[in-house]
Structures are given as C-alpha cells and as structure tokens.
Amino acid sequence: MTFLHTAVETAPSPLAAERPMVAFEAVTKRFGGADDKSQFTALDGIDLSVARGAITGIIGRSGAGKSTLIRLVNGLEKATSGRVVVDGVEVGALSENGLRDLRRQVGMIFQHFNLLSSRTAFENVALPLEIAGLSAKAIRDKVVPLIDLVGLGDKSDRYPAELSGGQKQRIGIARALATSPKLLLSDEATSALDPETTQSILALLKRINAELGLTVLLITHEMEVVKTIASDVAVIDRGRIVEAGRTFDVFTGAKHETTRSLLSAALGTNLPEWIRSNLKPQPSVGDRVLVRLIFFGSTAFQPLTARLVTELGADVNILAGTIEEIAGEPYGSLVVAYPADPAVTERAARFYAATGLSTEVLGYVA
C-alpha cells in the first residue's frame, strides 16, 4: 500500500485533465540527409492523441513506423517536423537536462527485458533510483512494494539468469515504475513470451493502469494484445495513421484494408484457402453468397442465426465464427453462405434491416 500512496500524485488541475497525455501534431520523421538519395520517411504527418489514464495501442506490420513513433515520446528520436507534446511539454524543444527530467516521468518496458545480468532483481529495479541519487533507505522503501506489486516478492535476490521470461518482464515493469512515471511505454513487451505468460503480463498492466491511473502507450503487431487490454487503438501503415478510435469501434467496423487484414485472424474469421481463392465479386446463376454477420451491442445475445434460417427458407451453411470480448465488450462474428438468388438475398436484407444486424458481403462462390 505504501507504493500506491507514493506513486499516485495529487489530483491534476482541470487543464491537465482536459489535455491528452501525449499529442502528435503533424509529426514527420525522416532518416538520412536532405540530399541523401537513400533518405527514408519513417513517419509522415502523424496526428494522434493519447488520452490521459487510457491504455492506447499502436498496431501495424513490421516496418510500419511503430518503434520510431514511440521513441519520439521519450526523446530518443527527434521529429524532423511537427510537434510531440507530453503532458503539455514539447519534447523536441527540451534541453538535455529537460530530457532527463522527462524520462523520469516516462517509464519504458522492452521486448527483451534489458536487465543487467550482474544485478539481482532488487538491484535492477533500484538502478534508476540510484542514478537519481536516493538514499539506500528511500530506495528500499520504494523497491520492496514495487516487487510485491508485480508478484515477485520472493525473487528479490535472484539474478536474471534464474528467472523465467515472464518473471524478467515483471521485473522490467517494476523498474519502469520506480520513478513514479506518469506514462508507461511498452515496446513489443510480450512478443518474446508464450501465450499464457503474455496473458499474465497483460493482466498486470491492466491492474497497474486501473490502480495507479497510469497512462499506457503500447506498440505491438499482436492483435490479441490490443484486443485484450487497449481501450483505444491506432493503426499505422507505411508511416501514416490509417485508422484510429475506440478499440471496439475499430475492431468491429474497420474501414481501411490494412486494418481488416491485420484483424482477420484476430477475430477468428479466416476462411479456408480453397474458399478464399474461389470468391468472386459478382454472382452467377446457382452461386452462393458469403456474408459475415457481426454481433455486438443489442444483437450480441439474440438468437438471430436461427431466425435468419427460418426467415430465408433456404439452406444456410456456417463456414467460420467466433464469440469473444474486445476491450471488455461482447463480440461475435459468423460467416454464412446461402443461395445468391435475388428473392433470398432480398429477404435477408429485410431481416438485417429489421434486426439491426451488421453484415458484410465477402463475395460469391459456385
């Protein structure tokens, strides 16, 4: 309990409560000189706000610009143009001393843990406090509750080589929290972990966010991570934000092709290759139409599939489906096929309109 009292600061001013914790304003980042033919634009006109107290995920393929984006937040990289503002302070305008102060307020956890092999778990967590010049007693008063918070109170004297991957990451999280940061950055923090360990680390991050009110900005290529803990998400592709919003809204109503591609496996609606390869954009006589039915909100708990079969009066095949939660909200997806006969599809359209069921026509097969 001591940790909770020391980590949470006094209530923010109304102005602080209104402004985002992080704001990217028309941010562009290029590598290479202006006359360099190999100049590369990693980020191109990024506008994005990270809400205070939220868990925000940045998702995208490898090379999309995720790591560059997060390195701008703590000043490890500097924007070529535009502004990166953290808690009202423009990062690019800070002196070296200002950057050091900023980095004490921004914790960072890494994919490969970055623990010092010659130091115990306790000593690894204590390192940023030693650098800050705290006394031995003050360090102990801070580190012990932190290690307890991440569930490793009995591992304080162990060295990294004696810890599992998940335990190493927990120590990395405790170290990131040592300076009582306002913002926690996560750079692919679960990519090196097995699925079960990943879930335990995500549960820990959710708990830290809830108990401490700590803003979390995480980058990942794992859709499952964002779906599990992020309240908000932004999709980055080739250095540009192509879609952003509430995680549930983006996952259930993806508009950009990149988002849909990234989410197809995460939402459990991948079709077998033999079906995908035979999909046609227009029907022929005797074809069947493939439709994705999306259940959420008022439709999540209604027996609409059974009613659809009755309404159509035709054979309906279920090809793929899933029932799960996205950012804590129920979501179901079902891919069905039925005759592409105009009379049948007209009855289906009336049914969807009457029930409010969201649908997407995927194509037609013989």
| Contacts of residue 42, Cβ cutoff 8 Å, sequence gap at least 6 | 29, 30, 31, 65, 68, 239
Residue 6 pLDDT exceeds 60: no
Q: Provide the pLDDT for residue 288.
A: 94
| Residue after which a domain boundary falls, among 202, 221, 254 | 254
Per the model's pLDDT, the better-predicted residue between 340 and 223 turns out to be: 340
Q: Provide the pLDDT for residue 223.
A: 84
Q: Provide the pLDDT for residue 1.
A: 31
Residue 45 pLDDT exceeds 60: yes
Q: Are residues 13 and 73 in the same domain?
A: yes
Rounded CA-CA distance 112/165 in Å is 9
Q: Are residues 354 and 281 in the same domain?
A: yes
Asked whether residue 275 is assigned to any structural domain, the reply reads yes
If one counts every other C-beta atom within 10 angstroms of the C-beta of residue 4, the result is: 11
Residue 322 pLDDT exceeds 80: no
Q: Provide the pLDDT for residue 333.
A: 80
Q: Provide the pLDDT for residue 13.
A: 43
Could you read off the pLDDT of 213-272 as tens digits, one per residue?
Answer: 999 999 998 888 898 999 999 999 999 999 999 998 898 888 898 888 887 666 655 677
Residue 37 pLDDT exceeds 80: no
- Domain span at residue 337 reads 267-365
Q: Cα–Cα–Cα angle for 224, 356, 251, nearest 5°? A: 15
Q: Are residues 233 and 307 in the same domain?
A: no
Q: Provide the pLDDT for residue 7.
A: 36
Asked whether residue 189 is assigned to any structural domain, the reply reads yes
Q: Are residues 346 and 227 in the same domain?
A: no
Q: Are residues 196 and 329 in the same domain?
A: no
Q: Are residues 98 and 226 in the same domain?
A: yes
Rounded CA-CA distance 122/322 in Å is 43
Of the candidates 110, 225, 92, the one whose C-alpha atom is nearest the C-alpha of residue 168 is 110
Rounded CA-CA distance 222/235 in Å is 12
Of the candidates 215, 213, 338, the one whose C-alpha atom is nearest the C-alpha of residue 288 is 338
Q: Are residues 90 and 202 in the same domain?
A: yes
Q: Which burial class, exposed, middle or buried, applies to 199 when counting CB atoms under 10 A from its CB (0-12, 13-18, 19+)?
A: middle
Mean per-residue pLDDT for 43-47? Answer: 96
Asked whether residue 13 is assigned to any structural domain, the reply reads yes
Q: Name the 3-class secondary structure at 1.
A: coil
Rounded CA-CA distance 352/33 in Å is 55
Residue 308 pLDDT exceeds 90: no
Residue 349 pLDDT exceeds 60: yes
Residue 5 pLDDT exceeds 50: no
Could you read off the pLDDT of 152-196 as tens digits, one per residue?
Answer: 999 999 999 999 999 999 999 999 999 999 999 998 888 888 888
Q: Provide the pLDDT for residue 10.
A: 38
pLDDT band at 305 (very low <50, low <70, confident <90, very high): confident
Mean per-residue pLDDT for 54-72? Answer: 93
Domain count, the chain: 2
Could you read off the pLDDT of 77-132 as tens digits, one per residue?
Answer: 999 999 999 999 999 999 999 999 999 999 999 888 899 999 999 999 999 999 99
| Contacts of residue 328, Cβ cutoff 8 Å, sequence gap at least 6 | none
Residue 12 pLDDT exceeds 50: no
Q: What is the pTM of this model?
A: 0.79
Q: Are residues 237 and 271 in the same domain?
A: no
Residue 267 DSSP code = T
Q: What is the CATH number of the domain that holds 201?
A: 3.40.50.300
Rounded CA-CA distance 322/268 in Å is 6
Mean per-residue pLDDT for 311-328? Answer: 83
Rounded CA-CA distance 202/193 in Å is 11
Asked whether residue 277 is assigned to any structural domain, the reply reads yes
* Range in 1-10, 102-111, 324-333, 356-365 with the lowest mean pLDDT: 1-10
Of the candidates 177, 6, 10, 192, the one whose C-alpha atom is nearest the C-alpha of residue 108 is 177
Q: Name the 3-class secondary structure at 360.
A: strand
Q: Are residues 249 and 294 in the same domain?
A: no
Of the candidates 321, 322, 325, 333, the one whose C-alpha atom is nearest the C-alpha of residue 227 is 325
Q: Provide the pLDDT for residue 359.
A: 87
Q: Are residues 210 and 328 in the same domain?
A: no
| Residue after which a domain boundary falls, among 254, 288, 316 | 254
